[in-house]
Amino acid sequence: MMKDLAQTIPHYAPSGRECALFTMAHTHGLPLLLKGPTGCGKTRFVEHMAATLGKPLFTVACHDDLSAADLIGRYLLKGGETVWVDGPLTRAVREGGICYLDEVIEARKDVTVVLHPLTDNRRTLMIDRTGEELVAPAGFMLVASYNPGYQNVLKRMKPSTRQRFLSVTFDFPKPDLELAVVVRESGLDAARVAPLVRLAGHIRALSGMDLEEGVSTRLLIYAATLMAGGMAIPQAIEAAIIEPLSDDADVQTALRDLVATVYG
């Protein structure tokens, strides 16, 4: 049974005490905010912890048009009848699960109004359309994430919202840990993954280049997966790293020069 359980838990390699913090937050019914760059493992972390704790996970990819109704639910026509259909946040509250709002600052402002009563001592969700006021059970947990590097004047998390959450900052793994993660996820041997990890370190250390962020661990896994499947190194890196990082021709040329240096 233990072996079967381990096989169902998504792999995650801790880089600090984030797993202990998540467990403590869940135990005490505290909301948690994950901060960090794209592709550094935030979503995998939540999936791992939800499976470890044996809790149902409701993941919402937030976007500009995401409204409170998308989270709470709405009336829909089914078989000629109008029926109420719970949204993912309502389902998580009813079932005592974990609701994960990925890139929460991308959502519309009315979402924040819904979240506030769930992130303080009330732990309630008001469903205006049905007149229900749900009290979150002990197992319910709200987790949100965002990328501080993408914040701007129009989309910035207000202090009044941010201070309702426990918070932990994620970053790209250290080289030895990142190498192990890429090897495990892609199936490519360590000797061939090592140059990819070195390349990532060089790209992340660049300054003065028109890059919003360095290459993510996710993109390294993509490149390694292509290489493990038989694609030549230059083509794999072009498709999985250079093209996704920038559309600027000069930046792409500089990245190719860096690749040539690492693989020279």
Tens digits of residue pLDDT in 161-170: 889 999 999 9
CATH architecture of 2-169: 3-Layer(aba) Sandwich (3.40)
- Region at 196 (left for phi over 0; alpha for psi -120 to 50; beta for the rest): alpha
Q: What is the pLDDT of residue 153?
A: 46
Of the two residues 80 and 46, the one the predictor is more confident about is 46
Per-domain residue ranges of the chain: 2-169, 175-263
Q: Taking residues 37-47, what's their average pLDDT?
A: 92
Q: What is the pLDDT of residue 207?
A: 60
What letters, b where the CB count within 10 A reaches 16 and e where it falls short, cover 113-126? ebbeebbeeebebe
pTM over 0.75? The answer is: yes
Checking if the pLDDT of 1 tops 90, the result is no
Q: Are 100 and 46 in contact (CB under 8 A)?
A: yes
Q: What is the pLDDT of residue 157?
A: 80
Q: Are 195 and 262 in contact (CB under 8 A)?
A: yes
Q: From CA 165, how far away is CA 162, in angstroms rounded?
A: 6
Mean pLDDT across the chain: 91
- Region at 217 (left for phi over 0; alpha for psi -120 to 50; beta for the rest): alpha
Would strands 141-146 and 98-102 be described as parallel, antiparallel, or unpaired? parallel
